Amino acid sequence: MKKITQISTKTILLLGGLVLGLTGCSDDDDTANNAAPIITSQSLKMDLTVRKKENAGVFMQAFYWDTEPAGEWYNEVSKRIEDYKASGINRIWLPAPGKGASGGLSMGYDPSDYFDVGEFDQHGTIKTRFGSRQELEDLIQKAHANDIEVIADIVMGHNSGGGKQANPFRGGTEVYSLFNESNGNASGKFNRSNEHFHPNDIHDHDEQALFFAETDLCHDQQYVQDWLWGRDDSVAEFYKKTLGFDGWRFDYVKSFAPKWVKSWNDKVGGFSVGENFDGNQQVLKDWVDASGSPAFDFACFYRLDETLDRANDLTALGEADNMLRKLDPANAVTFVANHDTEKDVNPENRISYNNKLLAYSYILTHDGYPTIFYLDYEAFKGQLKTLIQIYTTLAVGDVEILETNKDEYIMKRSGSGDNPGLILYMNISKQSKQRVVKTNWANKTLVDYTDNSRATPTTDAEGNATLQAPAGGYAIWSVTKE
């Protein structure tokens, strides 16, 4: 055994010397020998930077629950604007900007003073949790300079942080419904009292699902409408014309009628999306029709959570009309995670970390307007940059499901004009999969634009090819460059 080992070592040294001798050849020697270049899947790809589709872009939720460092979040986001632009982000969603009842700890969902965006000393702080008014305006200006719109979170269903006041419609019970310069509204704009909340002399409530019943704003009160969006110096006009926001994310829209969203948008305009926290696609569609606004596709979110995490079965992804994006793709804002789902202890209300990229491969190849969650972008930046580029270039044309079963989901985008489209192959099994697929491309070499597969299959005259997907992963196929 020792003698064989010694001979093998000498042989290796001899071969090593031969390799060194070959690699030491001059460029002229290489040319003389007509050395062929190494062909890789990367070298076969089309240049996607010149194929960006019109009005393409992706939504970024630029915060998470309990952002840190407190008081500096606008500056943190500002540092990332150039990177967002380079990645293909065209809108960022910021948290509710007004001063909340919990002061420097507030995430904005306990609104007290809508006009205090970090300049009045109240609730124990001047800055909001996210920064000062100047820092907010600087961030918005920087985003605009990079062609990125900025969306404000609008919490207009309930208020917090006012002073105690007896409510005659509650039998004289005191509730925190007094908002003025001395009670949680230092700006002095949109002062409120018990008549502006429920119950009042108009009705007991406007919608059934009351989040904070004792301080649920009554939008049927003309005074409330005027200050929220109707006046020239309303909350909406201040956010848009003075601060520079470009649109709106409406929080918890179950707590007020969809007509109020329509009224806000008719008055001030801009992009908008509603948070209708409901997994029923028809409920979402009905709200979209009534409000005239897009909505987050919670039905899509729950189908992804169900198939990837709970059922471990992709079959439901192929069922007809079980998502808002299938009923109304133009008004479906898809997502994989948000500030609420990520802090929810119930595993049925969030998609597991291990399946995040599979879920993103779905929303970033299908129709709908996809949202990237801040923490996910930080965790999977390289992969998400690739998926965003694919979405903004190749994800065009009709959606056709080619195969769906327990382990596999294969979908084709038909393309448009000289844009070839793509094929998504998801595989949640523990081994790699391959399948003969009918493509739109005859006699073409294909490549996986995610680099999760290094195969380069060729289609036949009918467009058939054997495509692959890695275990527990995905591949996105399209044609190679000409």
DSSP state letters, 232-257: TTSHHHIIIIII---EEEE--GGGS-
- What is the DSSP pairing of strand 247-250 with strand 149-154? parallel
pLDDT recorded at residue 98: 98
Give pLDDT tens digits for 220-229.
Answer: 999 999 999 9
Residue 5's pLDDT band, with cuts at 50, 70 and 90, is very low
Residues 427, 432, 434, 440, CA torsion sign:
positive
CATH classification for the domain delimited by 402-479, as one of 3.40.50.1860, 2.60.40.1180, 1.20.1250.20, 2.40.37.10: 2.60.40.1180
- Say whether 340 is catalytic: no
- CB count within 10 Å of CB 444 equals 18
DSSP sequence for 414-435: --BTTB--EEEEEE-SSS-EEE
**Tens digits of per-residue pLDDT, 72-84?**
999 999 999 999 9
Residue type, 242: T
**Where along the chain do the CATH 2.60.40.1180 domains lie?**
402-479
Is 251 among the residues known to form the active site? yes
CATH of 49-397, one of 3.40.50.150, 1.10.10.10, 3.20.20.80, 3.40.190.10: 3.20.20.80
| Interacting residues of 105 by C-beta distance below 8 A, sequence separation 6+ | 70, 129
Backbone angles phi, psi at 126, to 5 degrees: -95, -55
Residue with tokens 């409408």: 225
Residue 209 banded pLDDT, cuts 50, 70, 90: low
**pLDDT for position 56:** 87
- Any binding-site annotation on 313? no
3-state helix, strand, coil split of the chain in percent (to 5) is: 35, 20, 40
Which position among 113, 153, 206, 275 bears the catalytic label? Answer: 275
CA–CA separation, 123 and 129 (whole Å)? 12
Delimit the CATH 3.20.20.80 region(s) of the chain.
49-397
239: CB partners within 8 A, 6+ apart: 97, 152, 245
- Residue 423, beta-bridge partner list: 412, 477
Q: State yes or no: pLDDT of 14 exceeds 50.
A: no
213 is in an annotated binding site: yes
pLDDT digits 0-9 by tens, 115-172: 999 999 999 999 999 999 999 999 999 999 999 999 999 999 999 999 999 999 999 9
Is 152 marked as binding a ligand?
no
> Are residues 65 and 342 in contact, defined by beta-carbon separation less than 8 angstroms?
yes
Digit-coded pLDDT (tens) for 251-302: 999 999 999 999 999 999 999 999 999 999 999 999 999 999 999 999 999 9
236 has binding-site annotation: no
Mean pLDDT of 454-481: 97
Out of 113, 116, 251, 408, pick the active-site residue. 251
Q: Which helix (H) or strand (E) segment is 283 a member of?
A: helix 281-291
Whether the predicted pLDDT of 22 surpasses 80: no
Q: Is 380 exposed, middle or buried (0-12, 13-18, 19+ CB in 10 A)?
A: middle
The DSSP code sequence of 291-311 is H-S-EE-HHHHHHHHIIIIIS
